[in-house]
């Protein structure tokens, strides 16, 4: 055998209980799991380590980065060996040459990916979606990638400028063309179709995404293309999860049901808990349960931790960024900015302006960013994602007789201005992880929403694979830990099977040799940090991991002791895999 991993605690991805076993690999396949007498060209002692399949992350936004970056960190640093892109209906194909700048502005606005980095990093070389897949296919990398057809580029490719306007509807001929191009993409290896129906998704210019109010005729024609092809999944985000309006939620659910009935294909959609609609997710899960009982393959995509924005002086946002006193120094180099902000007179001015601003803000995401101190936490080292509102910075300030805003202000100046704070925007309405526990243990849910590759200056949730294991299987404080086999199943086989990748996510003979060797005691997430390592010096949040002794992709070690080996065994995954 080429590689034998000896004596590890094998958690094989199926949900079966852990067992001590060897894993034998020949070429890119697992050939034996159990007691192996044969010797390997390379032998790895896994005694004391947990051995799992490589993780499969089906909700990333590496669509542009994958055309120039062979490593796709931080996902590849956190045990991920396969990613799916094109989520939320945004991406870069199909793309007419005169729409390149618009598509870059779309991703910069919707996903907070620096436009300068995309402009310099992408060399394009495609117009159609099949041509885009061909470009991806020519780049070796550390992980496998698969791509869905994103609705927003498809719409503007067919409708031109009208397609970017969410109030414009396509003609019958345009609808037919969108369906034809979707079928063409599926035949070339697209893994599905994705769309967005949320007001939060806006272009760099602040315009709503063109797909926001797409009608049933348009959506069902595209779903019909999936039905005709007999392949592909559907992924979408709708404001149903965060709307307190029952009628609106029901209208969105009716569209989702029509899409899955028309396509006959698996569908997943975003389910999060919003502060202003804290029980809506239960309503959505109830409907998913009804659909599944009727034989429809629908799942709620959920995150295993609160989805949080990172606040900092170098990040996209901080609570004081919108005051005049802060704006005056915002453009200074970091060291000079910290010195200016530390001056007592400027601090007093900014805190006064902040208090006045906060008093006038309505409930919503913006108010949470500006003044959500009761759900804001310091990012310590190592990061503890098992947060509880009782130890937020707001609660800490009140216990110490301080002004919460002043404490947060001082905290942002620490570590030379590089200190980051964690503000859960979703899945924390009741100040604990109890509702997240209910979501991730439901048979109706699907692990997702890492958004890896996106929100470069605000969110770093590519590490959710690691924290899923640490928070729930190892360190849980407010209840018994989840069985590790349950967590691993959700990170591997369950996500792989959903998109039709049946050749991975399982340590069993004949399956792809994607493997993680994990020191569970040492597993953890370092604090996120700002790096300027994208093309054109573009900024992004990166987060290192500890505890990954080895990651193997298609039989080849890509990371050893957290260090990339330089191997590039990853490739494009076209369509489903037997």
Q: Which pLDDT band, with edges at 50, 70 and 90, does 365 fall under? A: confident
Share of the chain above pLDDT 90, in %: 99
pTM of the model: 0.96
Distance from C-alpha of 310 to C-alpha of 308, rounded to nearest angstrom:
6
Is the Cβ–Cβ distance between 508 and 12 less than 8 Å? yes
Residue 24 above 90 pLDDT? yes
| Mean pLDDT in residue range 395-411 | 97
| Mean pLDDT in residue range 400-424 | 97
**Domain architecture of the chain: domains with CATH:** 3-53+513-564 (2.30.40.10), 55-305+430-482 (3.20.20.140), 309-426 (no CATH)
Q: Which residues of 294-306 are buried (b: 16+ CB within 10 A; e: fewer)?
A: eebbbbbbbbbbb
Q: Which pLDDT band, with edges at 50, 70 and 90, does 363 fall under? A: confident
Distance from C-alpha of 407 to C-alpha of 78, rounded to nearest angstrom:
32
Q: Which pLDDT band, with edges at 50, 70 and 90, does 536 fall under? A: very high
Distance from C-alpha of 340 to C-alpha of 189, rounded to nearest angstrom:
54
| Mean pLDDT in residue range 159-165 | 97
> What token pair was written down for 409?
């202000």
Is the Cβ–Cβ distance between 461 and 453 less than 8 Å? no
């Amino acid at each position: 055998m080429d590689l034998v991993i000896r004596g590890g605690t094998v958690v094989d991805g199926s949900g079966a209980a852990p067992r001590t076993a060897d894993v034998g690999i020949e070429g890119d396949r697992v050939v034996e799991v159990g007691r192996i007498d044969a010797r390997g060209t390379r032998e790895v002692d896994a005694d004391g380590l947990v051995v799992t399949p490589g993780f499969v992350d089906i909700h990333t936004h590496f669509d542009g980065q994958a055309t120039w970056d062979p490593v796709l960190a931080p996902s590849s640093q956190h045990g991920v060996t396969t990613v799916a892109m094109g989520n939320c209906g945004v991406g870069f194909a199909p793309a007419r040459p005169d729409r390149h700048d618009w598509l870059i502005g779309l991703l910069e606005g919707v996903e907070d990916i620096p436009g300068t980095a995309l402009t310099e990093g992408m060399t394009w070389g495609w117009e159609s979606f099949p041509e885009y897949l061909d470009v991806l296919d020519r780049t070796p990398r550390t992980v496998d990638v698969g791509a869905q057809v994103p609705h927003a580029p498809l719409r503007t490719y067919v409708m031109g400028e009208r397609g970017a306007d969410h109030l414009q509807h396509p003609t019958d001929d345009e609808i037919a063309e969108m369906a034809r191009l979707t079928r063409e993409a599926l035949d070339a290896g697209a893994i599905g179709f994705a769309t967005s129906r949320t007001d939060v998704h806006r272009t760099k210019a602040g315009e709503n995404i063109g797909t926001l109010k797409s009608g049933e005729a348009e959506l069902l024609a595209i779903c019909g293309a999936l039905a005709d092809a007999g392949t592909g999944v559907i992924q979408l985000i709708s404001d149903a999860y965060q709307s307190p309006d029952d009628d609106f939620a029901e209208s969105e659910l009716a569209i989702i049901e029509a899409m899955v009935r028309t396509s006959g294909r698996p569908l997943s959609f975003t389910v999060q808990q919003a502060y202003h609609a804290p029980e809506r997710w239960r309503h959505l899960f109830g409907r998913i349960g009804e659909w599944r009982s009727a034989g429809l393959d629908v799942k709620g995509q959920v995150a295993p931790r609160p989805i949080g924005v990172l606040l900092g002086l170098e990040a996209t946002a901080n609570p004081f960024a919108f005051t005049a006193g802060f704006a005056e120094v915002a453009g200074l180099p970091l060291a000079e900015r910290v010195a200016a902000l530390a001056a007592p007179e400027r601090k007093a001015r900014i805190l006064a302006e902040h208090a006045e601003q906060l008093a006038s803000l309505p409930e919503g995401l913006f108010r949470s960013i500006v003044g959500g101190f009761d759900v804001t936490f310091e990012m310590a080292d190592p990061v503890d994602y098992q947060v509880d509102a009782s130890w937020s910075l707001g609660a800490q300030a009140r216990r110490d007789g301080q002004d919460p805003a002043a404490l947060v202000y001082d905290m942002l100046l620490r570590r030379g201005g590089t200190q980051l704070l964690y503000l859960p925007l979703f899945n924390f309405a009741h100040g604990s992880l109890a509702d997240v526990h209910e979501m991730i243990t439901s048979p109706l849910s699907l692990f997702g929403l890492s958004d890896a590759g996106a929100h470069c200056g605000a969110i770093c949730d590519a590490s959710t694979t690691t924290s899923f294991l640490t928070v729930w299987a190892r360190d849980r404080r407010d209840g018994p830990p989840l069985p590790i086999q349950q967590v691993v199943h959700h990170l591997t086989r369950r996500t792989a099977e959903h998109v039709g990748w049946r050749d991975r996510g399982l340590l069993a003979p004949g399956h792809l040799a994607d493997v993680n060797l994990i020191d569970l005691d040492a597993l953890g997430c370092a604090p996120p940090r700002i790096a300027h390592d994208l093309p054109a010096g573009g900024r992004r949040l990166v987060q290192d991991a500890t505890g990954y002794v080895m990651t193997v992709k298609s039989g080849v070690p890509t990371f050893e002791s957290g260090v990339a080996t330089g191997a590039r065994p990853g490739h494009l995954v076209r369509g489903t895999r037997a």
